[in-house]
Amino acid sequence: MPEADSLELYEKGLAQQRAGQLKAALQIYNVLLKRGANDAALFVRSGECWEGLGDFGRADEAYGAAITRDPDLDLARRRAAALALRASEIARTAGQAATADDLRHGAVRYLAGLGERLIARGAFAEAEAAFRDASRIAPGEWSLQADLGRCLYEQGRFAAAERALRDALALAPAEPLCHFHLGVLMERQDRRAEAESAFRQALALAPGLAPAAAGLARLGVPAQNPP
C-alpha cells in the first residue's frame, strides 16, 4: 500500500479493529482490497476481524491469502495455526471427532511450514519454538522430532538434539532423514564411528540421498562398504 491515502485508510481500519469495531474495520479493509491492495498484512488483519466475528471459514481464507502473498510472514502462519486449534476444540465439543482431528493436523502443517521457512532463513531458535509447538499437538510425528533435532544441533545444543533425534528414530526407524541428521550431529561432536554408521544407514535406506554420501566424504571414508 504505497499511496499515502491508502496508508491513512489502513491506519483507520486498524484503529477501528483495536477498538473492537470489527465490522467497521472490515469495511475499510475491503475498500483497500477493492483498490487493489495486495499486502499480506492487510489479509492478516482481515482474518483477525473475521475470526473475532466468528466466521472461521473466511478467517482461514484470509490467513491463507496472506501466506500466499508472503510465505515468510510468520504472523500469518501462527494466526492460521491458532485458528485451526480453536476450531478443532469447538468441533470436538460438538462431537465431530474426525473434523477436530483434521483441524489439528492443519494446525501442525501451519506450524511445521513456519519452522521450515525459519530454518531456510537460518533462524534456528525461532524454528525450534515452532517445531516444539507443533510437537505438543502431534507428539507422535517423527518429522517434527527430526526437524527439532536439527534446530537444536544447529544451535550447538547437542545433548538435547540427540534426545530429539533418538525420539524420531524410535517413531520411525526406517526413515533415512532421521539417520542422516543423527550422522550430522555425531560428526559435529567428532564421534566419527557413530557418524559413519548413521550416514551408511541413511544411504542403505535411501541410496540416492546425496547429503548422506557427502557426510561420508567429509569423514574421508568411501560411500560403499569395503568388500
CB 182 within 8 A of CB 169: yes
Domain hosting 81: range is 74-139
Whether 108 and 126 share a structural domain: yes
Boundary (domain end) residue, out of 12, 47, 70: 70
Phi, psi at residue 140, to the nearest 5°? -95, 10
The candidate with the shortest Cα–Cα distance to 181, out of 147, 225, 207, is: 147
Please state the domain count of the chain: 3
> What CATH number should be reported for the domain holding residue 13?
1.25.40.10
Whether 64 and 95 share a structural domain: no
Whether 109 and 148 share a structural domain: no
CA distances to 129, 151, 177 from 122, rounded to whole Å, are 13, 9, 19
Whether 150 and 201 share a structural domain: yes
CA 25 to CA 6: how far, in whole Å? 14
Cα of first residue to Cα of last residue in the chain, in angstroms, is 66
| Lookup: cell for 22 | 470489527
CA 16 to chain centre: 31
Whether 78 and 66 share a structural domain: no
CB 161 within 8 A of CB 149: yes
Query: 3-class SS at 172?
Result: coil
Q: Per-residue pLDDT for the chain (227 aa), expressed as one digit of tens each?
A: 446 688 899 999 999 999 999 999 999 999 999 888 879 999 999 999 999 999 999 999 999 999 999 999 999 999 999 999 999 999 999 999 999 999 999 999 999 999 999 999 999 999 999 999 999 999 999 999 999 999 999 999 999 999 999 999 999 999 999 999 999 999 999 999 999 999 999 999 999 999 999 999 999 998 775 44
CB 186 within 8 A of CB 215: no
The candidate with the shortest Cα–Cα distance to 13, out of 25, 5, 21, is: 25
Task: Summarize the chain as % helix, strand, coil (round to 5).
Answer: 80, 0, 20
Is the dihedral angle over the CA atoms 89, 91, 97, 101 positive or is it negative? negative
Whether 129 and 157 share a structural domain: no
Q: What is the pTM of this model?
A: 0.89
Boundary (domain end) residue, out of 70, 90, 117: 70
Give 87-94 contacts, CB < 8 A, sequence gap 24+: 87/56
